[in-house]
Amino acid sequence: GAVVSQHPSWVICKSGTSVKIECRSLDFQATTMFWYRQFPKQSLMLMATSNEGSKATYEQGVEKDKFLINHASLTLSTLTVTSAHPEDSSFYICSARVAGSGTEAFFGQGTRLTVV
Amino acid sequence: AQTVTQSQPEMSVQEAETVTLSCTYDTSESNYYLFWYKQPPSRQMILVIRQEAYKQQNATENRFSVNFQKAAKSFSLKISDSQLGDTAMYFCAFMNRDDKIIFGKGTRLHILP
């Protein structure tokens, strides 16, 4: 299957700083990328949907000014957690869909963010 | 709103046994896709099997099969001849017309030696 690479795998940052997470489709073009948040032992909660070249669509309750999403190319989407606080600590996962493939979506390996 | 419900938070079975994970969903759409994803301790999401709602035939992938009951909005996963490597969190998921994938809360499956 297609490969989605997410970087970094884990990051620790100080409260008040910003952190950028990258999601790359390595061998395919992804017209749509999704960002999820997963709390320990819980399900994946969709945060936002990003389409290449357009603004991301955020789910209800997700602060768009806090979680900045950029999908500048068909192979790269980034999630920036701005002014991070301890409550933002979580596991963040991206997924990407192959253009014209129907329903297949591939997931990155996730990023564990710890804000201290 | 579309919802996905997994009523079994945790299950344990002996190796080589057959286990069935339950899932129900709610939607007003007539055409959609259903999935089962596996999340092992590495936390990498792995697609196990998918079902297209307009197909009546139940999907099968080797030891994994589903029982799709569209009228009942039920989508259970059967794992035959379970193996230690099947130990993982299993998520039932629904894809709506906006291509958003909505996940259930998951079932933690333990395969015991």
pLDDT digits (tens, 9 = 90+) for A46-72: 999 998 888 899 999 999 999 999 988
Positions of chain A with pLDDT lower than 70, given as ranges:
1, 99-103
Which residues in chain A have Cβ-Cβ distances shorter than 8 Å to B95? 103
Residue B31 at interface with chain A, using a CB cutoff of 8 Å: no
The confidence score (pLDDT) of residue B59 equals 94
The distance of Cα A51 from the centroid of its chain, to the nearest Å, equals 12
Please give the residue that has the higher pLDDT: either B31 or A112.
A112
Check if A6 contacts B (Cβ < 8 Å): no
Distance from CA of A16 to the nearest CA of B (A): 27
Nearest to A97 among B43, B45, B99 (CB): B99
Q: Report the pLDDT value the prediction gives residue A102, as an integer from 0 to 100.
A: 60
Model confidence at B109, pLDDT cuts 50, 70, 90, reads very high
pLDDT of residue B81: 98
Q: Report how far Cα B99 is from the mean position of its chain's Cα atoms.
A: 18
Using one digit for the tens of pLDDT, what is the confidence trace for B71-95? 999 999 999 999 999 999 999 999 9
With the CA atoms of B79, B84, B88 and B94 taken in that order, what torsion angle do they form, in degrees rounded to the nearest 10?
A: -20
Mean pLDDT of B87-110: 92
Write the residue in B43, B103, B108 that is nearest to A91 by C-beta. B43
What is the average pLDDT score of chain B? 94
Distance from CA of B21 to the nearest CA of A (A): 16
Q: Does B59 touch chain A (CB under 8 A)?
A: no
Q: What is the DSSP string of A54-106?
A: S--EEPTT--TTTEEEEEEETTEEEEEE-S--GGG-EEEEEEEEETTSSS-EE
Chain B residue numbers with beta carbons less than 8 Å from the beta carbon of A110 are 43-44
Q: How do residues B42-65 score in pLDDT, each as one tens digit?
A: 999 999 999 999 888 999 999 999
Q: For residue A108, give the chain B residue with the closest CA.
A: B44
pLDDT reading at B34 higher than 90:
yes
CB contact under 8 A, A43 and B105: yes
